[in-house]
């Protein structure tokens, strides 16, 4: 299908339409040999609450963003190289069904489809793209993944000390290493994890001690012997735990008030041929 659609006018038009929907806030997506294979709305389990997100599957990347106007305007564009993706099917919960996890070295998160059929379609197309891409590039599947953030509402108390109770005055924080919801006292440390960010990130006290121990062990084993390893994968800006957006409601204020906005009852997915 990729060979059939590559360098065709219809594929160019589809990619141009996606670029236009993201506007100036998005990165250019057209590249020689890149094919848009499918698109659809999935529910992403974010830190505060599940939110609808638009997803576009290309033969080499997965792109998603926030929906501002139904099928017309998107922002907060995120680009994930498929070489870095591992998929994991998850059981249903009372709140969310047809779930799976998208795991990468920079960010991992859970999404759900509107039906079991849609989930099967997404997983089938994603797995085929990943398999073909790894075969073409000769890369090995990614084995080190970022921890998914546990949603705020999953716990009312700190998951480390199990003593501090969260309230409007006592904020929840997330450890960037394990993804646990923790209090300020249990996450005062910062640690540099270049795989996730060029700046030191908040980690819980337990992860901080583990990371320090690992760092000392690696330094003792590799001192003066290692050279920096540069990834062949194209570099994209890493994402935060909650899409780097303040809230969908705040974003929507920049559009005219009489515009028809997305409603959560609408769900769809479409894979091209």
Question: Does 180 score more than 80 pLDDT?
Answer: yes
Q: Quick one: average pLDDT of 203-219?
A: 92
With 0-12 / 13-18 / 19 or more C-beta atoms within 10 angstroms meaning exposed / middle / buried, residue 175 is buried
Residue spans in the chain of domains classed CATH 2.30.29.30: 3-145
Contact assessment for residue 60 and residue 81, using Cβ atoms and an 8 Å cutoff: yes
Question: Hey, how many other C-beta atoms are within 10 angstroms of the C-beta on 187?
Answer: 24
pLDDT given for residue 232 in this prediction: 39
- The DSSP letter of residue 25 is G
Pairing verdict, β 181-182 and 189-191: unpaired
> What would the pLDDT profile of 43-71 be if each residue is shown by its tens digit?
999 988 899 999 999 999 999 999 988 76
- The DSSP letter of residue 31 is -
Residue spans in the chain of domains classed CATH 3.30.40.10: 149-220
Element at 207 (helix H, strand E): helix 205-222
Distance of CA 73 to the CA centre of its chain: 19
Please tell me the class of the 149-220 domain. alpha beta
Question: Does 260 score more than 50 pLDDT?
Answer: no
Euclidean distance between CA atoms 100 and 111, whole angstroms: 6
pLDDT given for residue 144 in this prediction: 83
Can you give the three-state secondary structure of 243-271, one letter per residue?
CCCCCHHHHHCCCCCCCCCCCCCCCCEEE
Question: Does 229 score more than 70 pLDDT?
Answer: no
Q: Quick one: average pLDDT of 5-24?
A: 88
Contact assessment for residue 206 and residue 160, using Cβ atoms and an 8 Å cutoff: yes
Name the residue with tokens 């953030």. Answer: 149
Question: Does 112 score more than 80 pLDDT?
Answer: yes
Contact assessment for residue 183 and residue 190, using Cβ atoms and an 8 Å cutoff: no
- Look over the chain and give the mean of its residue pLDDT values, rounded to a whole number: 82
Question: Does 213 score more than 60 pLDDT?
Answer: yes
Euclidean distance between CA atoms 234 and 60, whole angstroms: 11
What is the pTM (predicted TM-score) of this model? 0.76
Euclidean distance between CA atoms 127 and 106, whole angstroms: 19
pLDDT given for residue 220 in this prediction: 85
Please list, in sequence order, all residues whose beta carbon lies within 8 angstroms of the beta carbon of residue 72, skipping any fewer than 6 positions away.
Answer: 21
Element at 189 (helix H, strand E): strand 189-191
- For the domain made up of 3-145, give the CATH fold: PH-domain like (2.30.29)
198 or 262: which leads in pLDDT: 198
């Amino acid at each position: 299908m990729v060979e059939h659609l590559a360098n065709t006018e219809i594929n160019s038009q589809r990619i141009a339409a996606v670029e236009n929907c993201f506007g100036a806030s998005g990165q250019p997506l057209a590249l020689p040999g890149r094919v848009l294979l499918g698109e659809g709305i999935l529910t992403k389990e974010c830190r505060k609450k599940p939110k609808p997100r638009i997803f576009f599957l290309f033969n080499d990347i997965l792109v998603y963003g926030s929906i501002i106007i139904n099928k017309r305007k998107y922002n907060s564009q995120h680009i994930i190289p498929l070489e870095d993706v591992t998929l994991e099917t998850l059981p249903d919960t009372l709140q969310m069904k047809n779930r799976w996890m998208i795991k990468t070295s920079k960010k991992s998160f859970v999404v759900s489809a509107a039906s079991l059929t849609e989930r099967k379609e997404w997983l089938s197309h994603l797995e085929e793209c990943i398999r073909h891409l790894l075969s073409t590039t000769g890369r090995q599947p990614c084995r080190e993944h970022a921890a998914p953030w546990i949603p705020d509402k999953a716990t009312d108390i700190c998951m480390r000390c199990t003593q501090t109770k969260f309230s409007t005055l006592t904020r929840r924080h997330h450890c960037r290493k394990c993804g646990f919801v923790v209090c300020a006292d249990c996450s005062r440390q910062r640690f540099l994890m270049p795989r996730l960010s060029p700046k030191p990130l908040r980690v819980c006290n337990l992860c901080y001690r583990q990371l320090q121990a690992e760092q000392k062990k690696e330094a003792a084993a590799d001192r003066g012997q290692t050279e920096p390893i540069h990834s062949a994968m194209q570099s994209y800006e890493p994402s935060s735990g909650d899409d780097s957006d303040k809230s969908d409601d705040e974003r929507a204020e920049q559009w005219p008030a009489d515009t028809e906005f997305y409603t959560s009852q609408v769900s769809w997915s479409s894979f091209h041929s």
